[in-house]
Copies of this chain bind each other. A is one copy, B any other.
C-alpha cells in the first residue's frame, strides 16, 4: 500500500530540449537518462530551506527566494496556505551541466514541486503543478517560459499553446525517436542568448516557421519520421544563436550526413540535439558531430538515448 504522507521523498525530473528547431518557446521534449533529483524532507521549522546542492560547483544560490527550485516550492506552499505551517528541507542533486541548454533549472524546479507534492499526499495533479514550476523558471531566465518545464513534468513532446497562464498540450511521441545531445564545453546563459534575438521578425519567415510547427505536429501524430526531420527548420532563431556556438554549422552538417532526421540548437544552447530513427543512427550521429568538434579542439560531452515519456516522478512511491 502506498504511503500517502511520507517524511522524505526524492523526485526525478528529466533534462529537456526546448524549441526543437521550428518551435521557439512552444515545443519541447524530454530526454531519457539525464536529469535532476530533488529530495524534500519534512522539517519542524516552518518554511523552505535548501540544505544542499550537489553538482553545481557551488554556483547556484542557496537562498530559496533566489533559487528556481526554492521559488517553485515556496509558490506551492503559498498556494496551499501552508507557508507558515509546514517546514520543508530541499536537497538538490544536479546531474547535468548548468547553462547547457538542456533545461537544467526547469528540471530542478519540476523535481522540487513534484517531490513536495508527494510529500504532502499528492494534492495536485501534474497539470496543477505546472504553474508553480513556471514561476520558478522566472528566477532562472527572467521570463516565464513553460517549454522546458512542461516537457520535464509530463515527458515526451509537449506544445505550449499559451504561456501566461500556461496552457500546455502533451503530444504524441513516436516510439522510434532517439535523441543525440552534444554539449560543447562552453556556457551560454539563457538570459544573454535571449537578448541577442531581434524583437521583430519578417512576416515571411514567421509564416515558414508556423508552417514547420504545423508539419512537425502532423509528423508526431502520424509517425512520419521524415516529416518530423524536415520540420526541424528554423530561419529565425538558429541563424542568430548559432553564432555563439563554435563549430555549429560543421556539427549540424555532420549530423545530417550521418543520417539524423534533423538537428538544431537545444533551447538557448550551446548544446545541440539531433533526432534519429534508431539508436544505431543516433550513435553514429553523435560520433560524427563529435569529430567536427575535435577538429576545432573543443571539448564536449555526448548523450544518446530514447525520449523520456514518463516525465517527472517520485522515486519508490509506485
Contacts and interface: CB of A to CB of B under 8 A. Distances in A.
Interface in A75-93: none
Interface in A26-51: 26-27
A23 B203 contact: no
Interface in A1-57: 22-27
Nearest to A215: B161
Interface string A184-208: 0000000000000111111110111
Contacts of A207: 24-26
A7 B216 CA distance: 44
A57 to B, nearest CB: 33
Q: Please tell me how many copies of the chain the complex holds.
A: 2
A123 interface: no
A230 B168 CA distance: 13
Contacts of A171: 218
A211 interface: yes
B169 A215 contact: yes
A275 interface: no
Interface in A95-110: none
B161 A212 contact: yes
Interface residues of A, number: 39
A213 interface: yes
A250 to B, nearest CB: 26
Which among A22, A26, A214 has the highest number of chain B CB atoms within 10 Å?
A214
A221 B217 contact: yes
Given A169-B227, A203-B236, A206-B210, 19 more contacts: A23-B214, A25-B207, A26-B207, A26-B214, A159-B215, A162-B208, A162-B211, A169-B215, A169-B218, A171-B218, A199-B204, A200-B200, A200-B202, A201-B201, A206-B206, A206-B236, A211-B213, A213-B213, A214-B217
28 contacts: A23-B210, A24-B207, A24-B210, A25-B211, A26-B207, A26-B210, A159-B218, A161-B212, A161-B214, A161-B215, A161-B230, A161-B231, A162-B211, A169-B227, A199-B203, A199-B204, A200-B202, A201-B201, A201-B202, A206-B210, A206-B236, A210-B210, A210-B213, A211-B213, A213-B214, A214-B214, A214-B217, A217-B218
